[in-house]
């Protein structure tokens, strides 16, 4: 095979990687806000659940989390009489989402806490409830501060998708290893794969920069 013939199967794998990155980043962002805000909650149960989730998924390996969801969870389901088997795509997206969500939650928490205390006092003076103060005062100022960190997490998430190849999900890394085993042309294949990951990271970074500039206008509009 010539290097051009590698591009078709690698392109198929790259498309799987793109889908994994997209969905896990979206779901991870939702989990980030849920857990980050939950950690600041006055409700002790919500706060405890948020802290537990954050600490578990930040304190354990993504690879182990992925294996647990794909291999161990079905066995647990068998023990209790429930079918908990996950397709490889679902296990991959779930593991990536839970992992990036735990790291993103600390970004959300820190950004909300960085909002000036005077802003909260002003919200109290206007008779805002805690929920109104969060949604109408804190988050519009905190979200622009989160965006650079979220951009870094999105790129890290893209690179972490390579781990899903270990549960036979045919992403870019899986396709590369398949072709390498067949051709033994490691240098050419992994050079192409490096370039493809780098290209995807550049595109993702550019998209996050556009989103960052768009959200940054909120700060200008409020100043």
Cα–Cα distance, 192 to 4 (Å, whole number) = 10
What percent of the chain stands above pLDDT 90?
Answer: 67
- Residue 138 · residue 112 · CB < 8 Å: yes
- pLDDT of residue 222 exceeding 80, the answer is no
Q: Which class for 89: exposed (0-12), middle (13-18), buried (19 or more C-beta within 10 A)?
A: middle
Q: State how far the Cα of 46 lies from the Cα of 81, in Å rounded to an integer.
A: 29
DSSP 184: -
CA distance 173 to 168: 10
CATH of 3-222, one of 3.90.1300.10, 3.40.50.2300, 1.10.3720.10, 3.40.718.10: 1.10.3720.10
Which pLDDT score, from 0 to 100, does residue 54 have? 96
User: d(Cα 55, Cα 133) in Å, to the nearest integer?
Assistant: 27
170 vs 38: CA distance, rounded Å: 35
**Are the C-beta atoms of 73 and 86 separated by less than 8 Å?**
yes
Domain ranges across the chain: 3-222
pLDDT, one tens digit per residue, over 5-14 is 889 999 999 9
pLDDT band at 30 (very low <50, low <70, confident <90, very high): very high
Q: What percent of the chain has pLDDT over 70?
A: 96
| pLDDT tens digit sequence for 107-134 | 999 999 888 888 877 887 877 887 888 8
Using the predicted structure, report yes or no on whether residue 29 has a pLDDT greater than 90.
Answer: yes
Could you tell me how far CA 186 lies from the centroid of its own chain?
30
In sequence order, which ranges of the chain are alpha helices (DSSP H)? 3-39, 44-59, 62-67, 73-80, 88-113, 117-125, 130-133, 139-160, 172-183, 186-222
> 168 phi and psi, to 5 degrees?
65, 25
Check: CB of residue 65 under 8 Å from CB of residue 137: no
């Amino acid at each position: 095979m010539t290097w051009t013939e590698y591009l078709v199967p690698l392109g198929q794998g790259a498309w799987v990687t793109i889908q994994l990155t997209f969905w896990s980043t979206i779901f991870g962002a939702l989990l980030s806000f849920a857990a980050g805000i939950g950690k600041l909650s006055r409700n002790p149960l919500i706060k405890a659940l948020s802290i537990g989730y954050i600490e578990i998924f930040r304190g354990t390996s993504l690879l182990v989390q992925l294996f647990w969801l794909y291999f161990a969870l079905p066995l647990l389901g068998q023990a209790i009489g429930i079918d908990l088997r996950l397709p490889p795509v679902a296990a991959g997206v779930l593991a990536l989402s839970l992992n990036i969500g735990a790291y993103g939650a600390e970004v959300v928490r820190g950004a909300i806490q960085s909002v000036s205390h005077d802003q909260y006092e002003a919200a109290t003076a206007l008779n805002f409830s805690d929920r109104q103060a969060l949604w109408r005062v804190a988050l519009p100022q905190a979200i622009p501060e989160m965006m650079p960190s979220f951009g870094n997490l999105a790129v890290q998430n893209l690179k972490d998708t390579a781990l899903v190849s270990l549960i036979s999900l045919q992403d870019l890394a899986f396709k590369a290893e398949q072709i390498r085993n067949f051709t033994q042309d490691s240098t050419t294949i992994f050079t192409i794969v490096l370039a493809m990951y780098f290209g995807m990271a550049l595109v993702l970074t550019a998209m996050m920069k556009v989103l960052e500039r768009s959200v940054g206008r909120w700060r200008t509009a409020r100043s």
